[in-house]
Amino acid sequence: MSSYLRGSANYVWSTTSILGKGATATVHQGVNKVNGEPVAVKTFNHISTLRPQEVQIREFEVLRKVNHENIVKLLAIEEEQENRGKVIVMELCTGGSLFNILDDPENTYGLEESEFLLVLAHLYAGMKHLRDNNLVHRDLKPGNIMKFIKDDGTTVYKLTDFGAARELQDGQHFVSLYGTEEYLHPDMYERAVLRKHANKTFGATIDLWSIGVTLYHVATGNLPFRPYGGRRNKETMHHITTKKESGVISGIQTKENGPIEWKRELPVNCQLSVGLKKIVTPLLAGLLEADHHKIWSFDQFFGEVDAVLARKAVNIFHINKSTLIKVYIDPKESYRHLQEYIFEQTDINEENQILLYKTSLLTNLVEEYVNASGFPQTAETDPLFLFNKENNNVNIPPFQELPKFNDFSTVISVENDASQAKFACSIGHQAKRQVERFSLYSQLICDTVDNLTKYINGNLKDLHQQLQHLLEKCQIYRKTAQIFEMSQKISNYSLKSNSAAELDSISKDFTTTVAVGVHGLYKQHSVENNLRLQWDTMSRDLKCPSKTLAPARARTQVEHLRDSWQHLVRDRATRTLSYNDEQFHILERIKITQTINRVKNLLEVEVFPQYEALSENFGDWYKMAQNVHLKTEILASDVEKYENKLRDFGEKLSIDNVDFNDYIKNNFDSSKKTNVVKGRRNMKSQELKNILEGYKKESNHIKEVILENSKLIISVRECSDELKEKFLNID
């Protein structure tokens, strides 16, 4: 009886513990004999020995040449003790292959955004290292990209399987055929699969096509080019890849001999945001180019990916839709570019955009000339809030129905039941993501109410303080004007000005209308906090999904679905079931049906209606809030106009004062007067002196008030600069 264990000088592995299998080799899980470290061991079958010797040793040479974090690390090349064949010992990637990850029902529609960007970054880095060493892989696909989980829990994706790799300079070509047909460049597909044009040669850029297909697969969960019937429809596959126009990134045939559905955009149901799709789609279009005159170079690919990865994600909660959007902006771009990107996704003109970060206008925190690298750091749970000056309606997007789950067949089939259970898990994951998304949006609605209320109340508080200052200033000017007029009468000043009446004229409407309006709004909202109280009243009977732990409940239900699915997968592996096993199998099918109904009800009956009701109430509240905001802006404009008028009045009063002082100096010179006149003048001068002293005191008081206000303004500016500097340093 032969043993399942095999070994080399320093490693041992089990032939039944298979991690992956190809045409010429199998990868097993093994351990280091000395320290027990788990490893991956690649062994070669007899077919591999039929290859030329130089081809057999090429993989060893390539692995010895490369050394990079995003390429699976070579630990040793040893001889198997039993048959003396060479084995390759590599680090073990416990996360499995990217193909298996995409095959998981959680990723039916591709990886989530952050994981996609991680794959893109690591694939780019690994490929750049290969090209820096003049190497081509020639079999790039998700199955040859491994997920390595580091000790700190972070993920690193690594290229593996260099059996087809070889050294190839730019401009050099090769004739040998390698690769997996769904990921092959059309020219290589024509030779390798259709057996045509036997003398055609290929360059290093064939890897770029494979990267494009891989990235599309990672983004969507599906291959970009899919003929009806799959691999058996080879001619149609070749037709799709060679006849597509430039810019087309997918071609799908849904029925036999049917038309091809060409697409230039990524599908709606993939997990990437609109903002990321916008910059990834041109990248895919450039990679999936069969025309030799339009095909990208590696330098262009590396440059484009560099630009994508350098962009900064700005999370924005779009109030009018109650949804989250993402804008990817180059760190060197400015606030104006951010507005343009927002317009592309929302159709809100730049002049109508209001962006809040927490309770402050973004424009108060970021100057127009500041690069995006200086913008505040945002997250999905801590975004910017986007308002539209001209639109106070809130209309949420229509609900996206989940795929229909059909009941299990009355006839037990371990194969079909496992597939049906996997489909149920896929629906469960979609439902869970929607529950999480609507729960997040509901929480952001509440955050919007909180931040907008504080912003409006803060503006009213500042406006009220400004009003109080102007009213005090007006009183000082009024006293000064009255004293000034009395001085003019006593001195028989001929150029008398009616300053007090003029001040009353410019202040009448302000004190009777504007001041009353500011006082009223300030009392209602800054003091009594009416907007907040109105929201609390309107939303008292509403539930927020995040408060009812809906996301956690959805995750629990999906875990139950996955447990049942794995049970049916194990049943499929046994092929035949005993009577007892069959009864448990039936119970798992019942559990799956019940669980999928529960998670769908959680979404469709509980969470989405709660989000919908919350959005509807928020729409009503937002109209009131925007009305208060509009009134505040109108009053602020009136206050500013009055402040300008008061400033002009003060300047005119100062000029009149200078003229009057000159008159006093010129007309009350003692050397030109008689003693009699001097006596009468002394009496009037004493009276005038007393009045002027009072006037001087009032003037000094004005100066003190102005000085104090100047200090306050300087203090406010210093606080603003400090706040700006704080946000500029956050990145």
Give 3-state DSSP helix, strand, coil % of the chain, rounded to 5. Answer: 60, 15, 30
- Which two tokens mark 614? 């919350």
Least Cα distance to 135 among 158, 164, 157, 156 occurs for 164
Q: Which of 103, 104, 132, 139 is the catalytic position? A: 139
CA 395 to chain centre: 21
Going by DSSP bridges, is the β-strand pair 360-361/384-388 parallel, antiparallel, or unpaired? unpaired
CB 447 within 8 A of CB 544: no
- d(CA 63, CA 165) in angstroms, rounded, equals 10
Least Cα distance to 416 among 578, 585, 581 occurs for 585
Going by DSSP bridges, is the β-strand pair 384-388/312-318 parallel, antiparallel, or unpaired? parallel
Say whether 40 sits in a helix, a strand or coil: strand
Tell me the Ramachandran region of residue 108: left when phi exceeds 0, alpha when psi lies from -120 to 50, beta otherwise. alpha
- d(CA 123, CA 184) in angstroms, rounded, equals 17
CB 113 within 8 A of CB 125: no
Say whether 271 sits in a helix, a strand or coil: coil
139 included as an active-site residue: yes
Tell me: is residue 42 an annotated ligand-binding position.
yes
Contacts for 482-488: CB closer than 8 Å, 24+ residues apart: 483/691, 483/694, 483/695, 483/698, 484/653, 484/656, 484/657, 484/660, 484/695, 486/691, 487/660, 487/688, 487/691, 487/692, 487/695, 488/660
- d(CA 207, CA 226) in angstroms, rounded, equals 20
CB 267 within 8 A of CB 110: no
Q: Could you list the beta-strand ranges (E) of 80-224.
A: 86-91, 135-136, 145-149, 155-159, 166-167
- d(CA 431, CA 445) in angstroms, rounded, equals 21
- d(CA 88, CA 559) in angstroms, rounded, equals 37
Query: Quick one: 400 exposed, middle or buried, by C-beta within 10 A (0-12, 13-18, 19+)?
Result: exposed
- d(CA 588, CA 584) in angstroms, rounded, equals 6
CB 335 within 8 A of CB 366: yes
- d(CA 123, CA 283) in angstroms, rounded, equals 14
Q: Buried b / exposed e across 139-149, counting CB within 10 Å, b at 16+? A: bbbbbbbbbbe
What pairs with residue 159 in β-bridges? 71, 145
Least Cα distance to 219 among 107, 308, 305, 310 occurs for 107
How far is the CA of 476 from the CAs of 127, 467, 500, 703, in angstroms?
Answer: 76, 14, 11, 10
E strand or H helix at 726: helix 675-728
- Residue positions forming the annotated binding site: 42
Return the active site residues: 139
- Residue positions forming the annotated binding site for ATP: 42
